[in-house]
Amino acid sequence: MSVNLWEIEDGRGITNEDLKNTTKVAVLGSTVVTNLFGDLNPVGKTVRIEGMPFKVIGILKSKGSGMGQDKDDTVLIPITTAQKKLFGSEFPGVVKYINVQAKDADSLNSAQEEITALLRERHNIARNKDDDFTIRNFTEMMETVKKTVATMTLLLGSIASVSLLVGGIGIMNIMLVSVTERTKEIGIRMAIGAKAIDIRLQFLVEALILSLIGGLIGVIIGVSISKIIELFSELTIVISPFSILLSFGFSGLVGIGFGFYPAYKASLLNPIDALRYE
């Protein structure tokens, strides 16, 4: 229990006496307690595992979810009881996996080497033979998680880039149509003194507002979908203000970037030709 950092909230944990005497006792996680007993305290009560009665001696402190699993959906019993009375074992004393905790992060590699040497000795594996077991340390697991997250980030970034490109092209087309339909208006503005930079700024601001409205709609949809997923799953989704501001920032850049050409085209119109346009 100490290796997995399990802490007891109520009752007691499994002791060496329980292991020695193959006692039929169990320590329950908070999810199991809620599912089986509701608001009642289960300590001292009996639960059945594979039809066999076990006395509840303790409740684990809640640890929440991690790696997509509910860490509170747990039942702990003495390993000797599991091997001899509950599940049985073709080879007495054999276990599927063992959790080991190093004294600190710097000792991980040396601890892994010592464990490997010990297991090879216990399994009578010759020097030229491969291991018949697998050892994984926390560093390797973290590297795997980092690679997975990096791949997902790259994938989502690619999808977002395509979406921004498509949205930007849409904004540019809309602004080009707007310039065409408002040619006479542009001519009137130029005739009464508006400069090319004024016309350019007008259409850039319109493109910026259009893209920010689209960004706002996207943020609302994204946050709503995240909350729905969080409501119907065990995932905890954190939405930071920075990510929302970053979304608006990209929306604004897309609007300015793709709105520049239509604005520039509008600023190049000849006032006389624009006034004659029907």
Is 180 found in the same domain as 87? no
* R_g over Cα of the chain: 33
Amino acid making up residue 219? V
Residue 145 lies in a domain: no
Alpha helices, H only, the chain: 16-20, 30-37, 79-81, 108-122, 138-181, 183-191, 196-232, 241-267, 271-276
At 11, which helix (H) or strand (E)? Answer: strand 8-11
pLDDT for res 40: 87
Torsion over CA of 85, 88, 94 and 100, rounded to 10 degrees? -60
- If asked whether residues 88 and 178 sit together in one domain, one would say no
137 confidence band (pLDDT: 50, 70, 90): confident
Same domain? For 95 and 189 the reply is no
Question: Whole-angstrom Cα distance, residue 159 to residue 166?
Answer: 11
pLDDT, mean of residues 86-106: 72
Residue 202: pLDDT over 70: yes
Domain-terminating residue out of 99, 117, 147:
99
Q: Is residue 227 part of a domain?
A: yes
pLDDT band at 7 (very low <50, low <70, confident <90, very high): confident
pLDDT exceeds 80 at position 151: yes
Give me the DSSP letters along 21-53.
TT--EEEE-HHHHHHHHTTS--TT-EEEETTEE
pLDDT tens digits for 16-49? 888 888 899 999 988 888 889 888 888 889 998 8
Residues 90 and 171 in one domain: no
Q: Which two tokens stand for residue 162?
A: 């395509």
pLDDT at 55: 92
Give the alpha-carbon dihedral of 237, 240, 242, 243, to 10 degrees: 20
Which of 50, 83, 99 is the last residue before a domain boundary? 99
Question: In Å, what is the CA distance from 198 to each residue of 1, 31, 234, 268?
Answer: 71, 64, 53, 12
Judge whether 164 and 250 are in contact, CB under 8 Å. yes
| This prediction's pTM | 0.52
Within a domain: residue 142?
Answer: no
Residue 1, pLDDT above cutoff 60: no
When pLDDT is cut at 50, 70 and 90, the band that residue 56 belongs to is very high
Q: In this structure, is residue 158 part of a structural domain?
A: no
Task: Tell me the C-alpha to C-alpha distance, in Å, between residue 40 and each of 6, 33, 72, 101.
Answer: 21, 8, 17, 34
173 and 75, same structural domain?
no
Q: Which of 112, 115, 174, 165 is nearest to 139 (CA)?
A: 112
275 HSE (CA, 13 A, CB side)? 7
Any domain includes 133: no
| 176 in the same domain as 80 | no
Picking from 55, 83, 99, the residue at the C-terminal end of a domain is: 99
Residues 181 and 272 in one domain: yes
Whether 207 maps to a domain, the answer reads yes
Average pLDDT in the chain: 83
Q: What is the mean pLDDT of residues 181-196?
A: 85
Region 240-248 average pLDDT: 86
Residue 250, burial from CB neighbour count under 10 angstroms (0-12, 13-18, 19+): middle
Q: What span, in angstroms and rounded, lies between the C-alpha atoms of 212 and 218? A: 10
Task: Domain count for the chain, please give it.
Answer: 2
Does residue 64 belong to any structural domain of this protein?
yes
Judge whether residue 254 has pLDDT over 60: yes
Q: Which range marks the domain in which residue 80 is found?
A: 8-99
